[in-house]
């Protein structure tokens, strides 16, 4: 009996500590999310939202070709950004985790954090100087008789922006994940005749799978929802779903239709996150 | 003979009190002035209108302070007003084509025409500008305007080439034609390209279909869709060499910085944007706002408006133009605000080459916006 009372006391103590985050999430995530869902059924009349329950916004957005074009383009670019960023980040993370001293790793992580000291928008605009037809890259290529290449206002420009956004974070996540691997297991693999490449995909990647997948997931989430790079480096041509949200609200203040797009984006991310986490924690078949 | 300096304590006290008093006098005077809190006027306007280069001197001289809220586009403006309690905005700057909607929704106060010097207007149309009057009652006063046409990089294209919207289709401009990301001026220009002239906004089904086909044929030439900052950058760094949907309000600002860009009104015609001030319904500062609008029609107010750092526009009054010619002849020449210049704005209006920006007549804004989204995705 006294043990039960004690357990109850401990539970309320623990709950008190958990309460702030629960309240926070309810107020600033669940509440707005429910409002967003409700808003997608409202109508706009004379630039004012009328609270009602009407499926017109859903029917309208789903019937528009531009919605599906934007959806496919956004999904494709975010997927490509995830693959490209993962492939670029992994060798760097591997080197930082296994090939350098602790001191060098600490400095490297510090320098990977430094880009976040400046605004992402400022970092994006700085690419104008580098990627413009009269910019630094084309000047260098021009010296060896190449170019000029059009890089701004193209999907390539958008991809460069995505890499600016996600690569530092991805390298940090991967490095932290790889650093947790027990080095004895790698040595054991080598002792048992496992080559370097095979050790990577047979030992290191499976052991760091959760961190690597979570890193890739973050990469997908950030790229999928990004507005700045597709607009300023991609020239909004073609537009992504984030740009479509802006366009929809700009003309006629159609917030309910923008809510439909936003819910579709969130649903996509929810499904992707669910699949990724499930894959990350799936135990290998014995 | 040398004068002996008196070092006595009494003399020192007298002198230092006098010096301290003299030093403190300006502070006492200014503190009296500072004690009267400035009248705060809530302004809703396009970016730039509430900046110090335009209103700074007026604020200082009249002990008022503008709390500015900037919008981007007429829809955005209407939404901001409709979602705010009456009286939130004392002063509203609106594009002329949205004044009628402001009035119909009851968002603006009636003005007394006798308060404003319409006799000084540069053009008869400006005295009774479409939509600004209803049943002979005045609701809005035009304070500046500008013309939209073909904007181009002068190193890539000659002024002669730019004199037709057809220049956007030039093979050497493939991927180098940009759009200001707003359907209204862009589709209006393509409507002019199609020969709709004065009926550019009043398109029947066949004409609207033709405009859409014209737009789609231009799409392979298009390098991007830009907001204000993006338009500036892409013209400045040469990424875009021709721009549809803008005019001197952007290239003029770049020209002032030495960029090799310009705008012309093509032979098919150009579009006029018109900016007008109204007093917000329920404003408790109507008297102060009226005084400010009156100021903006004075030569000094017009000079500040036309020289606005954010984006230039033309004077609407004779007095304003005269002062511009006197104080800043270089800008007057650059913008064509001199009688006899080929791009003189009033001359262009009188020639029938300028059409006032409006909203679609036979289609809804939503129809145009839907097509614009399709076009961007094509």
Residue-by-residue pLDDT tens, chain A, 286 positions: 555 555 556 678 888 888 999 999 999 999 999 999 999 999 988 777 899 999 999 999 999 999 999 999 999 999 999 999 999 999 999 999 999 999 999 999 999 999 999 999 999 999 999 999 889 999 999 999 998 999 999 999 999 999 999 999 999 999 999 999 999 999 999 999 999 999 999 999 999 999 999 999 999 999 999 999 999 999 998 999 999 999 898 777 889 999 999 999 999 999 999 999 999 998 776 5
Q: Three-class SS of residue B45?
A: strand
pLDDT confidence band for B16 (50 / 70 / 90): low
pLDDT of residue B128 exceeding 50? yes
Task: Decide: B263 and B150 in contact? Cβ < 8 Å.
Answer: yes
Residue A30 lies in a domain: no
Give the pLDDT confidence score for residue A224 in this predicted structure: 98
A13 in contact with B at a CB cutoff of 8 Å?
no
Please indicate, yes or no, if residue A32 is contained in any of the structural domains.
no
Angstroms from A105 CA to nearest CA on chain B: 39
**Whether the predicted pLDDT of B139 surpasses 90:** yes
What digits encode the pLDDT tens for the residues B41-81?
A: 999 999 999 999 999 999 999 999 999 999 988 888 998 99
Cross-chain Cβ contact A235/B223 below 8 Å: yes
Q: How confident is the model over B236-243, as a mean pLDDT?
A: 92
Cβ pair B224:A238 closer than 8 A: no
The residue that leads in pLDDT, B208 or B27, is B208
Q: Is A134 on the interface with B (CB under 8 A)?
A: yes
Residue A40 lies in a domain: no
Contact flag A237-B370 (C-beta cutoff 8 Å): no
What are the structural domains, with CATH classification, of chain B? 39-145+273-340 (3.40.190.10), 147-271+356-377 (3.40.190.10)
For B92-108, the pLDDT digits (tens) are 999 999 999 999 999 99
Determine the distance in angstroms separating the CA of A167 from the nearest CA of chain B, rounded to an integer.
Answer: 25
CB–CB of B72 and A250 under 8 A?
yes
Residues sharing a CB contact under 8 Å with residue A54, sequence separation 6 or more, in sequence order: A41, A42, A43
CA distance B276 to B274: 7
Q: Where does the pLDDT of residue B2 fall: very low under 50, low under 70, confident under 90, or very high at 90 and above?
A: very low
Q: How close does chain B come to A139, measured CA to CA in Å?
A: 14
3-state secondary structure of B143: strand
For B104, other C-beta atoms within 10 Å of its C-beta total 11
Instruction: Please list, in sequence order, all residues whose beta carbon lies within 8 angstroms of the beta carbon of residue B335, skipping any fewer than 6 positions away.
Output: B248, B252, B306, B312, B314
A270 assigned to some structural domain: yes
Is residue A44, in this structure, part of any structural domain at all? no
| Containing structural domain, residue A179 | 57-281
How many domains does chain A divide into? 1
Residue A95 within a domain: yes
Report the residue of chain A nearest B371, measured CA to CA. A66
Within 10 angstroms of residue B213's Cβ, the number of other Cβ atoms is 12
**CB spacing of B224 vs A253 below 8 angstroms:** no
Report if residue A179 sits inside a domain.
yes
Three-state SS sequence of chain B: CCCCCCCCHHHHHHHHHHHHHHHHHHHHHHHHHHHCCCEEEEEEEECCCCCHHHHHHHHHHHCEEEEEEEECCHHHHHHHHHCCCCCCCCEEEEEHHHHHHHHHCCCECCECHHHCCHHHECCHHHHCCCCCEECCEECCEEEEEEEECEEEECCCCCCCHHHCHHHHHCHHHCCCEEEECCHHHHHHHHHHHCCCHHHCCCCCHHHHHHHHHHHHHHHHHEEEEECHHHHHHHHHCCCCCEEECCEHHHHHHHHHCCCCEEEECCCCCEEEEEEEEEEECCCCCHHHHHHHHHHHHCHHHHHHHHCCCCCCCECCEHHHHHHHHHHCHHHHHHCCCCCCCCCCHHHHHHCCCEEECCCCCCCCHHHHHHHHHHHHHC
Q: Within a domain: residue A274?
A: yes
Q: What's residue A261's pLDDT? A: 98
Window from B64-68, B276-280, B366-370 with minimum mean pLDDT? B366-370
A70 and B377 in contact by Cβ < 8 A? yes
Query: Contact, B273 vs B146, CB < 8 A?
Result: yes
Q: Which residue of A has its CA nearest to B220?
A: A237
Nearest partner of B91 among B112, B68, B117, B63, judged by Cα: B68
Answer for the pair A213, A279: CB distance below 8 angstroms, yes or no: yes
CA separation for the pair A248, A262 (Å, rounded): 11
pLDDT (0 to 100) of residue B169 = 98
pLDDT of residue B1 exceeding 80? no
The DSSP code for B111 is B
* B236-B239-B244-B249 Cα dihedral, nearest 10 degrees: -10
Interface test with B, best of A47, A60, A243, A255 (most B CBs within 10 A): A47
CATH number of the domain residue A193 falls in:
1.10.3720.10
């Amino acid at each position: 009996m006294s043990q039960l009372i004690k357990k109850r006391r401990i539970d309320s103590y623990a709950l008190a500590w958990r309460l702030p985050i629960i309240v926070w999430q309810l107020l600033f995530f669940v509440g707005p999310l429910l409002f967003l869902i409700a808003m997608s059924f409202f109508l706009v009349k004379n630039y004012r939202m009328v609270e009602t329950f009407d499926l017109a916004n859903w029917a309208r957005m789903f019937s528009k070709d531009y919605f599906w074009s934007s959806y496919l383009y956004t999904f494709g670019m975010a997927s490509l950004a995830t693959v490209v960023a993962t492939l670029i980040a992994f060798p760097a993370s591997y080197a930082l985790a296994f090939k350098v001293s602790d001191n060098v790793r600490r400095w490297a992580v510090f320098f990977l954090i430094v880009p976040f000291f400046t605004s992402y928008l400022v970092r994006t605009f700085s690419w104008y100087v580098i990627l413009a037809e009269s910019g630094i890259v084309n000047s260098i290529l021009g010296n060896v008789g190449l170019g000029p290449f059009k890089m701004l206002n193209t999907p390539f420009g958008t991809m460069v922006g995505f890499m600016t956004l996600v690569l530092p974070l991805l390298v940090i996540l991967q490095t932290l994940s790889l650093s947790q691997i027990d080095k004895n297991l790698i040595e054991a693999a080598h002792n048992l005749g496992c080559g370097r490449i095979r050790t990577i995909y047979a030992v290191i990647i499976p052991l760091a799978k959760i961190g690597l997948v979570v890193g890739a997931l973050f990469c997908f989430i950030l790229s999928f929802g990004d507005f700045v790079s597709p607009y300023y480096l991609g020239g909004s041509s073609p537009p992504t779903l984030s740009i479509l949200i802006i366009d929809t609200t700009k003309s006629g203040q159609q917030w309910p239709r923008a809510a439909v797009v936003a819910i579709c984006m969130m649903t996509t991310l929810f499904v992707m996150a669910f699949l990724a986490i499930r894959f990350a924690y799936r135990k290998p078949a014995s | 003979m040398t004068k002996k300096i008196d070092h006595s304590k009494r003399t020192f006290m007298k002198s230092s009190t006098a010096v301290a008093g003299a030093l403190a006098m300006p502070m006492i005077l200014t503190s009296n002035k500072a004690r009267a809190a400035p009248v705060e006027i809530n302004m809703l306007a396009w970016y730039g209108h509430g900046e110090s280069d335009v209103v700074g001197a007026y604020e200082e001289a009249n002990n008022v302070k503008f709390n500015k809220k900037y919008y981007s586009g007429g829809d955005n403006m209407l939404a901001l007003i409709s979602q705010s309690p009456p009286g939130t905005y004392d002063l509203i700057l609106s594009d002329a084509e949205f004044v009628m909607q402001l009035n119909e929704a009851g968002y603006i106060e009636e003005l007394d025409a006798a308060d404003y010097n319409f006799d000084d207007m540069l053009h008869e149309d400006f005295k009774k500008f479409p939509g600004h009057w209803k049943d002979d009652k005045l609701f809005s006063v035009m304070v500046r305007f500008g013309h939209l046409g073909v904007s181009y990089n002068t190193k890539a294209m000659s002024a002669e080439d730019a004199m037709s919207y057809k220049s956007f289709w030039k093979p050497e401009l493939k991927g180098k034609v940009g759009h200001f990301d707003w359907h209204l001026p862009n589709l209006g220009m393509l409507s002019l390209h199609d020969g709709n002239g004065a009926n550019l906004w009043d398109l029947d089904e066949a004409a609207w279909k033709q405009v859409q086909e014209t737009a789609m044929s231009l799409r392979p030439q298009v390098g991007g869709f830009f907001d204000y900052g993006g338009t500036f950058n892409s013209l400045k760094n040469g990424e875009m060499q021709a721009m549809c949907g803008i005019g001197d309000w952007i290239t003029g600002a770049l020209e002032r910085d030495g960029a090799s860009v310009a705008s012309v009104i093509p032979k098919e015609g150009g579009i006029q944007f018109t900016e007008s001030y109204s007093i917000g319904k329920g404003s408790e500062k109507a008297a102060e706002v009226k005084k400010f609008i009156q100021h903006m029609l004075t030569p000094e107010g017009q000079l500040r408006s036309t020289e606005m750092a954010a984006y230039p526009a033309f004077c609407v009054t004779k007095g304003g133009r005269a002062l511009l010619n006197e104080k800043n002849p270089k800008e007057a020449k650059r913008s064509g605000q001199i009688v006899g210049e080929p791009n003189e704005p009033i001359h262009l209006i009188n020639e029938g080459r300028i059409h006032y920006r409006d909203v679609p007549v036979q289609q809804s804004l939503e129809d145009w916006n839907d097509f614009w989204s399709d076009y961007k995705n094509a």
